[in-house]
């Protein structure tokens, strides 16, 4: 049984194609900045939004027309896997990302859950071998089940901590077995609803204890993938501990975990935290902590995680600038943590969504590369900070001066001359690079 | 020349008073939790909003009716000081906070500025001696002058870095001379407008270099006050580096500055960062970093810093719970970084504003003390986390178990039983304590 | 089968009671402003949040422990009704509000749905007779089912318009049969996701056509209840046509429907539209359009409809001022469109939530009455606008002058003298009334 | 004295030009959709941001380097006018917009203000004759002066109402004399800070009385320009009465003013009201109320009016779609209510800002025209609503059916079949049109 019998493999047809089922910009083997596009972008399918998302929302029931709607249990899980791999093949998508709960039914208890996972992991392994598609990252879902109502590793209930630990252990094992290059922690319930009933100090200490156990177990089993933390400020929890990049980096440093974790940055989580996407990527990059990307976009006029397919070219260009300056995103990638709108319920809309996202980032890559090659922003910025390369600026950098020397220097200054930041000009040049 | 000839010293008259120029709750010597109210609250007048604020806004001119409107230069500065100390005396306010630019005219250059400061500091010192009023903290204004258009210690221009250093040096000296118990850093221009022209890495490194110089100079001159950083996420700058408590703590740890700085938390800055006021206080407290408080409130339906006098009793109670649990706020205090509305332009409105704020926090203190004494939230919370005091929970805390032991444990669990978080009940009890 | 065997009727025990299952302020027969509290407040239970809400959220499964979890179909519906009426009796709640879908299962088609409704309406009618509990309002759910994915009366699909019409027809008939005093329209899907595919003009015209049909049918069957529109700016739809009070009033006037509809104002919808709750009530009141209230509260730091039980006393006081000035809320009422938090999953939390909400509004009523009786804000405001009662102000009101006369008058004016708005003083007095 | 001696007239050089002082897309006489670009766009310079804006912000002093900084009074006003017209000529800008206060000093009283205006209007009239540059619209500034602290036409002080009337009278006369094609009302202080001291009913009635006087006076003097209201939700006032398009339209209908006013829509005001720019334009268009446009853009992560030069191509395309469907924007235009960033303080940045904005809208026009010509969204949308052109849909439109007929129809329906809204596909096609 196939979902997409009538749809052929999506091909690159170039910018002038009017074929809505073709790539206009994503040309996987085209060389950009010295390597094929696909190696820059390392696109991944999100198992959840693509294969288990049903279009329900807080006020509405499922809308998605999917062939597995009539099935359940292991049979449903296998059909999802079949169709998911068919979908990835047709898109030329080389990676996927998953939660344990996406791929296998929960079961009545932990033992049954583990057994279900083992069946499906066998199945998926076969599909991977057959198709050559790889696992970008795995994770566990420790937020949906009611047992996690008050948190997982930050639950007030030690049994829940233990259960979450067992879940991560198994999910890490599975990820390792599938050759996953990363393992992600997103703490959807790690936070609080009200301080009236919360011991934040104990909860944060427990979060650190939990992550240290993950580090220990990773080493024990020899899992060589990256460990990633995914920040989000809120939703579902009122305050989530992993609020944003800066918060996570500070937490890691406090608990001496900074050498063991990098970050998985999601565009929509960035804007929910009142930051731009490129701000979050930049903060990661300059701290050596850029691990992977959840590619999507939010609606800045709405206050929740809309997880839309990324089609804003500005965001894509600025993101790819950070990725290129980072020397690439590997072993991370660009995972489409994106879902078709509830009103885009036909199977073909999945193709439209992914094509839109892949073309946007492909074009973003090309533009970013041009901007960097031409030194458009870099030359301007270098010049702007030139005063730190000589004289008093150099002495500051080299820590050769303190307040007293600087006061002496300042007393001798006439009016200080600054130069314009040229924001309007730079924005206009960015537009030129986007259009041409 | 006096501003408030017709207004006597503001007295405590108790809750039933209808005198709008009396305290209903702030009774400075009333013992609460073992010490006088005034020692818990350590209220301070903000020099800027009270004595230099003129009621202008981005769309409107000055409205405030003030006797110094007709003066300028040193004469204006002295009249402000006279009236400010009269005002504090009448309020029974024991502290004030200031920027260098609040107390003395800028002058044509740094030398003249220093000279102006020396004159006024002499003058203020006299007023302090005469009245017994003390300095809670001082700071420099490194954001108003156009030279700081692109930042102060994070300016792309090394001359500006030097100038800012000279300003902080002098401001710290003045603060020390006035017996200031703290020195504050608020980086209104330390951030960026657009990443297109910004080297965030260099700027953040420079910010750290600057703060290290401040630490060095403090030690050199033997200033024993606390150094405080005041977070704010944005405004005037699009992105401010000291976004919130978590960001600042992470920054301090990265640059190994965490032993030298605590935080000055402002309610309105908390909400601009999408946090509650008590969240920010709590994060400081559990990290041993609660330094001082800027007491005001924002309007959560408006997107800028409204700096209103704090009258919301919920915020005051929750803040005072954190202060009491912190063992007090000293050597910090509660500085009213609050301004009367532009439409409250008569001098007497300053009294109404401060009385409103002081009564609100006085009542907040009493309620917080009652809640803590009765163990209202603490007993509930202790019980909620009891599972970490024995058995597997205790083993987790003691790091006696890892993922493998926890998996074994979890496999043996039946359905996990959580208990309700009781948010509605706790909120209702809070109301009871507020009313009675 | 009873849910609350161990819980007795909730009694008024006064402010000093420590019984968490007693009212501290809600004393139904206590006379306030000339009539019993309960007649001012006209509290109603929301059928959905109380009896069908399960605690699920976009990232989490159901948590609520409810006795009907094991049942389905008509049996489940009957058990819900039994327990709902038991709950209302124990609370002394005199009204309930419902969607058709809350009380009866959807069925396979419209005919079956109607049949299910008829069975349950018979059943509820019996419970109403037995208990004396009344119906405040009914409505239809035209947003959950996937057929409404693109709207109900504003769907691009005329069949959906027809289906929605059939639903409203039946729901209005049921409401009438149960003696409902109001019928509500909330257009959760009446809006758009993107203008790229939307004909707003046709959709808005259709919305008006639909409402006119409702008016016609109401008249035809002799239903004498009020028709109410409930504004909400967004969620689940990106832009909802009934954005806020002003938008709805403008829409009604455009289509000449203003004599047939009043508004149902929800606190959380007000703040999602960036208005205060009292702003929305005030705008309704001065336009003669205040119909009913959905009592709850949102979290202003979160961007979605949290529908929390209302415990903020400021909001309750300001809301009850508007209600009292409106001459009461009847035939509307205060419907608790509020849900216990996902973490408050035990049945008793329903009592805690409702008690919190009812006590908050009872206390709000008393404070509002005191403020009005004492003329606290009214006298100040009357004086503030006194210039319109004589001279040029009176001429303006009476339209006796135009620009030319006013220019002449203005040319003769010296400096204009305004007086302070006294916001800080007024806020502080409000606090005094809250505390005492 | 000239500001821009070294800058020549800005020419169109096409997309491949690297000249930062050339247009890449704005080619005034290029024919698009049957008429020259410049007739579609009708660009205007904003006198205030361009000639009086000084770069100050709530935390910072003026930064802008301008030749009139050393002057004041009439001499300053004349130099501004000279340079403003030089600037417009060099840009090929055919219109300007102004407040009375932008062009002439306030004077000591109304009489002196009028006299100042008369001098400057003579002066500007000469410049207009010499250059052929026209006035798009005029207005009065009734928000900056402290007399307007509590409002202008909605002030509690009738003298202020009178003064505002005199200002509008004079400003309308001036606008008429300068051949202004529109007159704008922006009520920056028409709203309230707190309901505790506000009579909203009287204030709104007064606002309507004021506008009616404006209509009467316009007719009396034979001014044939359009009257425009500019919505803004907040800032500087907490709640502004002209919140958004829907609010203004409802207000106009309530007071029977709808035939006399259209709207002036500003992009940044739209987003402050939580709407997209194109939403506001669309709401105007379908109500026959699209009058003019204030072209700028806000930062959706900041909560105030940033008034940035518009460089977002998505906004420009979607705006121009609405303008084209409206049959053009005349007699309105596209006024750049945009200011260079505080850090873009050199004179040449004014050129960079305007070039960026003009190129963005020029390109937006071309893309919008292509999208309309190709029927990209229109054909899809027409098909989407086809069910209203026949059968039951047509009967609904024609009001031939009511609830009873629709219920009968719905009972006969099987499962309703909707079709996908295709948002992702449409967004991707929009990108294609932007790139190519």
Digit-coded pLDDT (tens) for A228-260: 999 999 999 999 999 999 999 999 999 999 999
Give the CA distances from residue D228 to residues B164, C237, D237, D288, D388, in Å, rounded to whole numbers and listed in that order. 47, 31, 20, 13, 35
- Is any Cβ of chain B less than 8 angstroms from the Cβ of C436? yes
**Dihedral angle computed from the Cα positions of residues C3, C5, C9 and C12, in that order, rounded to the nearest 10 degrees:** -100
Instruction: Report the DSSP beta bridge partners of residue D308.
Output: D297
The full DSSP string for B380-432 is: HHHHHTGGGSSHHHHHHHTT---HHHHHHHHHT--S-------HHHHHHHHHH
The pLDDT of A406-418, averaged and rounded, is 97
Contact C152, C160 (CB under 8 A): yes
pLDDT above 50 for C412: yes
Q: How far apart are CA D173 and CA D169, in angstroms?
A: 6
DSSP summary character for residue C175: H
For C8, counting Cβ atoms within 10 Å of its Cβ (0-12 exposed, 13-18 middle, 19+ buried), the class is exposed
The pLDDT confidence band at residue B2, using thresholds 50, 70 and 90, is: low
Mark which residues 354-373 of C lie under 8 Å from A by CB. Answer: none
Predicted local distance difference test score (pLDDT) of residue A2: 61
Q: How far apart are CA B120 and CA B129, in angstroms?
A: 14
* Residue labelled with tokens 């493998």: B404
Question: In this predicted model, what pLDDT tens digit does every residue of C257-271 receive, in sequence order?
Answer: 999 999 999 999 999
- Taking alpha carbons only, the member of D174, D267, D183 closest to residue D224 is D183
- Is any Cβ of chain B less than 8 angstroms from the Cβ of D19? no
Contact A249, A289 (CB under 8 A): yes
Residues of D in contact with C234 (CB under 8 A): 274
Active-site position among C40, C49, C99, C150: C99
Give the CA distances from residue D113 to residues B343, C20, D69, D188, D230, in Å, rounded to whole numbers and listed in that order. 25, 67, 21, 21, 25
Q: Cβ atoms within 10 A of the Cβ of A289, count?
A: 20
Query: Pairing between strand D11-12 and C290-294?
Result: unpaired
- Is any Cβ of chain D less than 8 angstroms from the Cβ of C111? yes
The pLDDT confidence band at residue C331, using thresholds 50, 70 and 90, is: very high
The full DSSP string for C326-379 is: TT--TTS-EEE-----TT--SHHHHHHHHHHHHHHHHHHHHHHHHHHHTTHHHH
| pLDDT-above-90 percentage for chain A | 98
Q: Which of D427, D430, D434 to mutate to test the interface with A (most CBs of A within 10 A)?
A: D427
Q: How far apart are CA C368 and CA C283, in angstroms?
A: 18
The full DSSP string for C290-301 is: EEEEE--B--TT
- Mean pLDDT (chain C, rounded): 97
Q: How far apart are CA B15 and CA B64, in angstroms?
A: 30
| pLDDT-above-90 percentage for chain C | 98
Q: How far apart are CA A57 and CA A49, in angstroms?
A: 13
The pLDDT of B243-250, averaged and rounded, is 98
The pLDDT confidence band at residue B294, using thresholds 50, 70 and 90, is: very high
Predicted local distance difference test score (pLDDT) of residue C115: 97
Q: Cβ atoms within 10 A of the Cβ of C286, count?
A: 19
* Residue labelled with tokens 């829907």: D246
The pLDDT confidence band at residue D2, using thresholds 50, 70 and 90, is: low
Predicted local distance difference test score (pLDDT) of residue A1: 46
The pLDDT confidence band at residue C6, using thresholds 50, 70 and 90, is: confident
Question: In this predicted model, what pLDDT tens digit does every residue of B411-420 receive, in sequence order?
Answer: 999 999 999 9
- Is any Cβ of chain C less than 8 angstroms from the Cβ of D234? yes
The pLDDT of D398-419, averaged and rounded, is 97
Residues of A in contact with B174 (CB under 8 A): none
**Smallest Cα distance from C293 to chain B, Å:** 20
The half-sphere exposure of B256 on its side-chain side, counting CA atoms within 13 A, is 0
CA D52 to chain CA centroid, Å, is 18
The pLDDT confidence band at residue C2, using thresholds 50, 70 and 90, is: low
Q: What 3-state class would DSSP assign to A92?
A: coil
The pLDDT of B66-94, averaged and rounded, is 97
Backbone CA torsion sign across D135, D136, D142, D143? negative
Contact D427 A311 (CB under 8 A): yes
Q: What 3-state class would DSSP assign to A341?
A: coil
In whole angstroms, how large is the CA radius of gyration of chain C?
24
Question: In this predicted model, what pLDDT tens digit does every residue of C241-256 receive, in sequence order?
Answer: 999 999 999 999 999 9
Question: In this predicted model, what pLDDT tens digit does every residue of C15-49 receive, in sequence order?
Answer: 999 999 999 999 999 999 999 999 999 999 999 99
Give chain A's count of helices (H) and strands (E): 16, 14
Question: In this predicted model, what pLDDT tens digit does every residue of D222-235 receive, in sequence order?
Answer: 999 999 999 999 99
> A31-38: long-range contacts at Cβ-Cβ below 8 A with a sequence spacing of 24 or more?
A32/A365, A32/A366, A32/A369, A33/A324, A33/A369, A33/A372, A33/A373, A37/A362, A37/A365, A38/A92, A38/A94
Q: Is the peptide bond before C147 cis (omega within 30 degrees of 0)?
A: no
| pLDDT-above-70 percentage for chain D | 99
pLDDT above 50 for C294: yes
Contact D403 C254 (CB under 8 A): no
| pLDDT-above-90 percentage for chain B | 98
Contact D85, D134 (CB under 8 A): no
Predicted local distance difference test score (pLDDT) of residue B436: 84
Q: How many CB pairs under 8 A join A and D?
A: 134
Contact C21, B425 (CB under 8 A): no
**Smallest Cα distance from C239 to chain B, Å:** 19
Q: How far apart are CA A29 and CA A38, in angstroms?
A: 7
The pLDDT confidence band at residue A436, using thresholds 50, 70 and 90, is: confident
Question: Active-site positions of B?
Answer: 99, 102
Chains that touch A (3 or more CB pairs under 8 A): B, C, D
- Is any Cβ of chain B less than 8 angstroms from the Cβ of C431? yes
Contact B194, B245 (CB under 8 A): no
**CB-nearest partner of B63 from D146, D304, D343:** D146
* Residue labelled with tokens 């700058």: B237
**Dihedral angle computed from the Cα positions of residues A115, A116, A119 and A122, in that order, rounded to the nearest 10 degrees:** -100
Q: How far apart are CA A192 and CA D112, in angstroms?
A: 62
* Residue labelled with tokens 């804003």: A312
Q: How far apart are CA C404 and CA C408, in angstroms?
A: 6
pLDDT above 90 for D4: no
The pLDDT of D23-30, averaged and rounded, is 98
Residues of D in contact with C426 (CB under 8 A): 194, 196-197
The pLDDT confidence band at residue B287, using thresholds 50, 70 and 90, is: very high
Predicted local distance difference test score (pLDDT) of residue B400: 98
Predicted local distance difference test score (pLDDT) of residue C5: 80
- Is any Cβ of chain B less than 8 angstroms from the Cβ of A31? no
- Taking alpha carbons only, the member of B80, B170, B129 closest to residue B350 is B80
Q: Roughly what angle, to the nearest 10 degrees, separates helices B423-435 and C347-373?
A: 30
Contact D295, D310 (CB under 8 A): yes
The pLDDT of D186-207, averaged and rounded, is 98
CA-angle at C270, arms to C267 and C274, nearest 5°: 140
Predicted local distance difference test score (pLDDT) of residue D5: 80
The pLDDT of A174-184, averaged and rounded, is 98
- Taking alpha carbons only, the member of D62, D47, D52 closest to residue D137 is D47
Give the CA distances from residue A234 to residues A309, B347, C233, C271, D104, in Å, rounded to whole numbers and listed in that order. 20, 43, 21, 18, 51
The pLDDT confidence band at residue B1, using thresholds 50, 70 and 90, is: very low
For C61, counting Cβ atoms within 10 Å of its Cβ (0-12 exposed, 13-18 middle, 19+ buried), the class is middle
Backbone CA torsion sign across B430, B435, C4, C7? positive
Q: b vs e for A392-409, b when ≥16 Cβ sit within 10 Å of the residue's Cβ?
A: bbebbbeeebbbebbbeb
Q: How far apart are CA B264 and CA B290, in angstroms?
A: 7
- Is any Cβ of chain B less than 8 angstroms from the Cβ of D71? no
- Is any Cβ of chain C less than 8 angstroms from the Cβ of A23? no
Q: Cβ atoms within 10 A of the Cβ of A126, count?
A: 12
Residues of B in contact with D59 (CB under 8 A): 143-144, 188-189, 235-236
């Amino acid at each position: 049984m196939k979902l997409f019998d009538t749809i052929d493999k999506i091909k690159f047809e170039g910018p002038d194609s009017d074929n809505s089922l073709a790539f206009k910009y994503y040309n996987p083997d085209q060389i950009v900045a010295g390597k094929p596009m696909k190696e820059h972008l390392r696109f991944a399918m999100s198992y959840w939004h693509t294969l288990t998302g049903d279009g329900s929302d807080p006020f509405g029931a499922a809308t998605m027309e999917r062939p597995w709607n009539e099935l359940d249990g292991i049979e449903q899980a296998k059909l999802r896997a079949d169709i998911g791999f068919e979908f990835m093949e047709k898109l030329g998508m080389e990676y996927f990302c998953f939660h344990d709960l996406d791929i296998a039914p929960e079961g009545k208890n932990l033992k049954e859950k583990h057994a279900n996972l083992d069946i499906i992991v066998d199945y998926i392994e076969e599909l991977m071998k057959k198709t050559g598609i790889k696992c970008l990252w795995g994770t566990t879902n420790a937020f949906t089940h009611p047992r996690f109502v008050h948190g997982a590793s930050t639950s007030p209930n030690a049994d829940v901590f233990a259960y979450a630990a067992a879940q991560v252990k198994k999910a890490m094992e599975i990820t390792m077995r599938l050759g996953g290059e990363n393992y992600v922690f997103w703490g959807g319930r790690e936070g609080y609803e009200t301080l009236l009933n919360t011991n934040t100090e104990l909860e944060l200490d427990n979060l650190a204890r939990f992550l240290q156990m993950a580090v220990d177990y990773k080493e024990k089993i020899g899992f060589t993938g990256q460990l990633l933390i995914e920040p989000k400020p809120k939703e579902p929890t009122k305050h989530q501990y992993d609020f944003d990049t800066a918060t996570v980096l500070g937490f890691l440093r406090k608990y001496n975990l900074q050498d063991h974790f990098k970050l998985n940055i999601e565009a929509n989580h960035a804007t929910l935290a009142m930051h731009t996407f490129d701000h979050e990527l930049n903060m990661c990059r300059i701290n050596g902590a850029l691990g992977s990307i959840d590619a999507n976009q939010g609606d800045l006029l709405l206050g929740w995680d809309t997880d839309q397919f990324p089609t804003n070219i500005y965001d894509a260009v600025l993101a790819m600038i950070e990725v290129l300056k980072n020397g690439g995103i590997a072993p991370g990638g660009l995972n489409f943590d994106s879902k078709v709108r509830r009103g885009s319920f036909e199977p073909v809309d999945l193709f439209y969504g992914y094509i839109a996202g892949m073309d946007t980032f492909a074009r973003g890559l090309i533009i970013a590369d041009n901007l960097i090659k031409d030194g458009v922003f870099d030359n301007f910025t270098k010049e702007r900070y030139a005063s730190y390369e000589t004289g008093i600026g150099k002495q500051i950098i080299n820590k050769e001066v303190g307040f007293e020397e600087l006061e002496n220097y300042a007393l001798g200054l006439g009016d200080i001359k600054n130069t314009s930041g040229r924001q309007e000009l730079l924005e206009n040049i960015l537009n030129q690079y986007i259009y041409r």
